[in-house]
Structure 1
Amino acid sequence: MTNRLMETSDFRLLIPEEIWLEQEDYDLAKQLSEIEGTEDKKWQAYINLLGMFALEKWLKENIYTQDIQRIIDRIDTYGYLQRKGFKFCLITQEDFLQEGMIVPRELIYNSDHTAHFYVAMEVLEEEEIAIIRGFISYDKLSQLSLPTIEDNNYWLFLDYLDPEPNHLLMTYKYLEPSTIILPQNIVNQVQENVQEAIINLSNWLEGMLEESWQNLEQLINTDAGLNFATRSLSEEKKVGKFIRLQMEFDEQIFVLLLTISPTAEDKLRIQVQLYPTNNQTYLSSEIKLRMYSKSGKLVKEVIAGKQDNYIQLPPFSASKDRQFKIEVNLNNASITETFRV
């Protein structure tokens, strides 16, 4: 008799966790996959939804709860399930013949898209079966040196995954969500320990600027290689600041520019824009410019495309003493400024 350790791939093939798909799963997946985009995107959304319904069914049967939330706003690429603070990201394919899967970069480095667990689901649509191929936690995934493929995405081999679904249940049962620290958790902890500086926009009209904020003319006269497409009216005040985002391998610098002017209703009209520096023609794609209310509610958001010279939030008017926040976010790096009229 020959003794040998069972290879991970052998173990996966011997005891796959199969979940049967039902007609109601197909009907709902067909309905929810009617999204904007190409037929390929709609089909991938359909497959992703079937994988989501299967994993949801499996979780409900094994953790004895019906309280699981679906998040499907990016379902043409991936989807999420959420339960008691834990977030499960599904990476679904029709087969795993290549023994791996594409992982979008944002799933690892963008705090808006990270999850506590990443679950590989195989959907055999005609056979009416979904199979859990394995899972990996964020802390382990983020430590891997994954090969980069097209569009700056990564290739994740199946051998990096834990093929035993029961280990996922045990981890969920005995760990708290805070045990697996996501990028957003780190940002929140830092922000909680930093005393918030509030910038008074009314002072700008009197020529009083906070440290690191400069008039438009001063910004143009720097050596930052700015390409502004802006014009000034007599009562407008244009003030900007260099925003430095520390990325994984380098630092990216942008200019946050605010244009303010008084209105007849004793309010301030405010325009917020974001520009590239260093003679760059375009902003980094996927960089986000966001506005939050004083309470932290997201009010407006603009995301840069591949060839945007700048991005801007819709102009708005604010009464005296109104407070709001502006955030610049790229991947897992962000800067927030707080303003008061």
Structure 2
Amino acid sequence: MMKLSEFSTFIAPISLSDHALAERFRKQHGNPVKAKQVYLNTLAVSAVNFYLRCMGVETNWEVSQSYDPLMQAAMDVADLEVGDRGKLECRPVLPDVQVVYIPPEVWSDRIGYVAVQLDPSLQTATLLGFTDISGVEEVPVSQLRSLDVLLEHLRQTAPATTLEAPVNALVSERVNLSQWFENLFDAGWRSLDSLLGTGQPHFAVSLRNDSRLNEATVKRAKLIDLGLSLKERSVALMVAITPSLGSMNTPEVGSQMEILVQMHPMGGETYLPTDLRMSLFSPSGEMLQEVRSRNHDNYIQLRRFRGVPGECFDIQVAFHETCLTEMFTI
């Protein structure tokens, strides 16, 4: 069971496609030291690219120096082109290292430097913060500025068109879950019965024997369309909220709510697409937990978590380069 809390960093997933790209670049360099450098740099850039796109910031990695094998061979480079604003340098930081190394060849022509700490398994990357100070080779992690400052820096200095949300970074209006107990539901959130009528029995199977759901539990689901990324296939996001019950078996005012979140295939599909990611984020952008679909998963589920009325959290659904964020207030 998790309690929602606030953090200042951001944990980005490193997908199989990220590793495939890093491996493709690595194979183009015969020197083992250079090959490892390119691999780690690629993972760092992919993490920052994921974060910025989910925040609605336009990027263009393909025109960056870090995407060019010739530039990779000539320099220790991990840049990411951010719209018309310029280049962000995405510096990998190994576990337990307390300084960020910034090579001299990237001291110029950069709008900032983001520190990306790679976990030992290379499954996730933590964006620790950023600095806009150039001309120094090592920056202590303790001196980094927050990611919120980075986003504000981009918003203040970039042309308006640079920070328009791209079509593959979709964010919904915030949903008030407490209103569900008053039968007030936002557009798109349907009863499970209406979705069960489309021939999706896995909803009932996943919930039938769940003893922690009771008569006070409210369940709703919403169709999620990730467009061409899923080849026009839809999935359904299911949210169940259960209040603590008082002595009269009624919800206690101001009590903690237990929240269950699942993802199901729709449109007659039996299984979810492989490597579909569902993540829980705090309001500050910290990933609190994540689950990925495997082959032949007919649904995925986050670990239950609790919150009190007024707390906020976000659920993000991501597949390849497309991500959609549903925002909630308890």
The yes-or-no answer on 1:259 pairing with 2:259 is no
Residue-pair matches, total: 212
State, as a whole percentage, how many aligned pairs show the same letter.
23
Alpha-carbon deviation of 1:282? Answer: 1.4
Query: Deviation string for 1:242-277 (max 9, x for gaps)?
Result: 001022583231100001111147111100000111
Match for residue 51 of structure 1? 34
Counterpart of 1:247 in 2: which secondary structure? helix
Counterpart of 1:190 in 2: which secondary structure? coil
The yes-or-no answer on 1:216 pairing with 2:192 is yes
The letter for the 2-side match of 1:253 is: S
The letter for the 2-side match of 1:79 is: L
Q: Are 1:88 and 1:119, in contact at CA under 8 Å, matched by a contact in 2?
A: no
Match for residue 176 of structure 2? 200
Match of residue 287, structure 1, among 276, 281, 291: 276
How do 1:98-117 and structure 2 match up within 5 A?
115=61, 116=64, 117=66
RMSD, matched Cα: 4.7
What is the CA–CA distance in structure 2 between the aligned matches of 1:299 and 1:187, rounded to whole Å? 29
Q: Quick one: structure 1 residues 313 and 238, their matched pair in 2 at CA, closer, same or farther if it must change by over 3 Å?
A: same
Match of residue 227, structure 2, among 246, 249, 264: 246
The yes-or-no answer on 1:132 pairing with 2:73 is yes
What is the CA–CA distance in structure 2 between the aligned matches of 1:196 and 1:53, rounded to whole Å? 39
The letter for the 2-side match of 1:50 is: V
TM-score, normalised by the number of residues in structure 2: 0.51
Counterpart of 1:281 in 2: which secondary structure? coil
In terms of Rg, which structure is larger? 1
Alpha-carbon deviation of 1:176? Answer: 5.4
What is the CA–CA distance in structure 2 between the aligned matches of 1:204 and 1:132, rounded to whole Å? 56
Match for residue 327 of structure 2? 338
Match of residue 190, structure 1, among 159, 162, 165: 165
Alpha-carbon deviation of 1:226? Answer: 5.9
What is the CA–CA distance in structure 1 between the aligned matches of 2:31 and 2:235, rounded to whole Å? 36
Q: Are 2:198 and 2:267, in contact at CA under 8 Å, matched by a contact in 1?
A: no
The letter for the 2-side match of 1:241 is: K
How do 1:30-179 and structure 2 match up within 5 A?
50-51=33-34, 78-80=39-41, 115=61, 116=64, 117-118=66-67, 120=69, 132=73, 173-174=108-109
The letter for the 2-side match of 1:199 is: V
Match of residue 227, structure 1, among 179, 183, 202: 202
List runs of 5+ in structure 2 lacking aligned partners.
1-22, 82-103, 113-153, 155-160, 209-213, 246-251
Query: Deviation string for 1:100-142 (max 9, x for gaps)?
Result: xxxxxx9x99969995422549xxxxxxxxx938999988xxx
Q: Quick one: structure 1 residues 79 and 48, their matched pair in 2 at CA, closer, same or farther if it must change by over 3 Å?
A: farther
List runs of 5+ in structure 1 lacking aligned partners.
1-40, 56-77, 90-105, 122-130, 140-168, 178-184
Match of residue 306, structure 2, among 290, 297, 317: 317
Q: Are 2:45 and 2:79, in contact at CA under 8 Å, matched by a contact in 1?
A: no
The yes-or-no answer on 1:308 pairing with 2:297 is yes
Match for residue 145 of structure 1? none
What is the CA–CA distance in structure 2 between the aligned matches of 1:273 and 1:249, rounded to whole Å? 18
Match for residue 163 of structure 1? none
The letter for the 2-side match of 1:252 is: R
Q: Quick one: structure 1 residues 188 and 279, their matched pair in 2 at CA, closer, same or farther if it must change by over 3 Å?
A: farther
What is the CA–CA distance in structure 2 between the aligned matches of 1:207 and 1:306, rounded to whole Å? 37
Alpha-carbon deviation of 1:206? Answer: 2.1
The letter for the 1-side match of 2:207 is: R
After TM superposition, the structure 1 stretch with the greater mean CA deviation from structure 2, 280-289 or 229-238, is 229-238
The letter for the 2-side match of 1:324 is: F
Counterpart of 2:240 in 1: which secondary structure? strand
Alpha-carbon deviation of 1:217? Answer: 1.0
The yes-or-no answer on 1:274 pairing with 2:268 is no
| Greater RCO (CA < 8 Å, at least 6 residues apart) | 2
TM-score, normalised by the number of residues in structure 1: 0.50
Alpha-carbon deviation of 1:197? Answer: 1.9
Q: Are 1:285 and 1:304, in contact at CA under 8 Å, matched by a contact in 2?
A: yes
Q: Are 1:262 and 1:268, in contact at CA under 8 Å, matched by a contact in 2?
A: yes
